[in-house]
Amino acid sequence: MSPASAAIYETRCCRAELFEQERGALLARVDACEVQRKDAHALDRENWRLLAEVRELQQVAAPAASSSSTAGRVCQLAGSAHACRLTRRAGGGRR
């Protein structure tokens, strides 16, 4: 093999190695995005589940909110499932 041919071959081999390294790094980044997408999907499902729970608690708290009980007023003012849960755990909301 001539020196020019050897130089071309060596250059192409180096380029191929660099290409494979870059390809590996990019594939690792793509895989990381896939993991993040799966996490985002799981978080989205959890968000929808919690949203349904909040709606259910708001429906349950609606009759209490219309009464003059302390728990009803707290639920009405806060408007959140968390506040309604706290008042129920504390024993409030009994008529």
Q: Where are the domains of the chain?
A: 3-89
Interval 24-57: pLDDT, tens: 999 998 888 877 788 888 889 999 999 999 999 8
Beta strands in 1-95 (DSSP E): none
Alpha-carbon span 77 to 66, nearest angstrom: 11
Question: Is the pLDDT confidence value at 92 over 60?
Answer: no
Average pLDDT of span 50-78: 73
Q: Is the pLDDT of residue 19 over 60?
A: yes
- pLDDT at position 93 is 47
